Amino acid sequence: MPISASSATAPDGGPAPVVRIRGLKKSFGTTVVLDGIDLDVHRGEVVSIIGPSGGGKTTLLRCVNVLEIYDEGSVQIDGVEVGFTDSSGTRRKRTERDLAHHRAETGMVFQLFYLFPHLTAAENIMLGLRKVRGFSKAEARSIAERWLDRVGLTAKADSLPSQLSGGQQQRVGIARAVAMEPKVLLLDEITSALDPELVGEVLAVVRKLAEDGMTMMVVTHEMAFAREVSSRVVFIDAGRIAVEGKPKDVFQKQSNERLRSFLSRVSHDPGLK
């Protein structure tokens, strides 16, 4: 299926959001992880999601690409509900095939990379292009090489993940996700597992993607980075959006007590002061 840029507009005439989340709820057993999230992400926006551990940040991302099936509420990508069909009036979980199709529209980069260890860097990127997008081997290879070039790993195309540093592996992880030309890119604490000196090279790649207009939802503990690249920052606490706004408003006004205490705990980050 070809990827087409949507030209849909919202009922009020403004551009429709790429991601539209309404009343999103998710529990694991008796633990409520997401307790009614409303969030729109528009084309080209970079939305950073910050907040304490266990607050539901990662679960929110996982609901957007349906790695988790949410309990209540709605997640739409370009106006299409991702986890359920509601045509007949009753909510039905989508089929595996539908879910796979939706996941291909949302790129995900993981904290622990999760590169396929039996495939080279180029093959990691080519797998989705060939099996999901239907490109020929040669086409997929040339797309993979183009993306490896953009993340600065031209020379590593035929290296196995075990031969790459953490930072290099994560850059391949990013290339693998963006090569699919997703409508939104989800980054889940992608620098948390890296040695400090490797964080910069990965963030540089994300910064470049942001400049090129990639729509992104970024869960991060790098506050300086969140402030620098985000169009908007969302502070999630106890499964709800507690504060939402422009980065400088969120970080400078610190209007909310929970946000203030969270930021003071992570304020070893030199970029904040």
Partner 1 sequence: MDYILSSMKFLWQGLFVTVEVSLLVIVLSLVFGLALGVLVTYGPTPARLAIRLFSDIIRGIPVLVLIFTVYYGLPVTGLNLNNFVSAVIALSLFSTAQIIEIARGALQSIHHGQTEAAKAIGLTFPQRLFHVIFPQALRRFLPPWINSVTDVVKGSALVSLVGVVDLMLAIQQVIGRTFVPMPLYVLGALIYFAINYTLSSLSRMLEARYAYIRE
Enumerate binding residues for partner 1 (CB under 8 A): 65, 67, 96-97, 99-101, 103-108, 110, 112, 114-118, 127-128, 131-132, 160, 162, 176-177, 180
Chain centroid offset of residue 59 CA: 11
> Smaller CB distance to partner 1: residue 131 or 260?
131
φ/ψ of residue 221, rounded to 5 = -110, 5
- To partner 1, the closest distance from the beta carbon of 184 in angstroms equals 12
- To partner 1, the closest distance from the beta carbon of 73 in angstroms equals 21
> Smaller CB distance to partner 1: residue 97 or 268?
97
Helix intervals (H) in the chain: 57-64, 96-104, 121-131, 137-150, 166-178, 196-211, 223-229, 247-253, 257-265
- To partner 1, the closest distance from the beta carbon of 109 in angstroms equals 9
Separation in Å, CA 18 to CA 139, 182, 257: 28, 11, 31
> Smaller CB distance to partner 1: residue 30 or 162?
162
- The answer to whether 70 and 61 have CB atoms below 8 angstroms apart is no
- To partner 1, the closest distance from the beta carbon of 129 in angstroms equals 9
- To partner 1, the closest distance from the beta carbon of 49 in angstroms equals 18
> Smaller CB distance to partner 1: residue 40 or 181?
181
Decide the pairing of beta strands 31-41 and 19-28: antiparallel
- The answer to whether 205 and 167 have CB atoms below 8 angstroms apart is no
| Beta-bridge mates of residue 117 | none
- To partner 1, the closest distance from the beta carbon of 16 in angstroms equals 23
Among 101, 38, 46, CA closest to 75: 38
Separation in Å, CA 255 to CA 4, 61, 218, 248, 259: 40, 25, 22, 12, 7
> Smaller CB distance to partner 1: residue 99 or 238?
99
Task: Measure the CA–CA gap between 256 and 116, rounded to whole angstroms.
Answer: 42
> Smaller CB distance to partner 1: residue 183 or 232?
183
- To partner 1, the closest distance from the beta carbon of 157 in angstroms equals 17
Token pair belonging to 262: 């969270």
> Smaller CB distance to partner 1: residue 69 or 238?
69
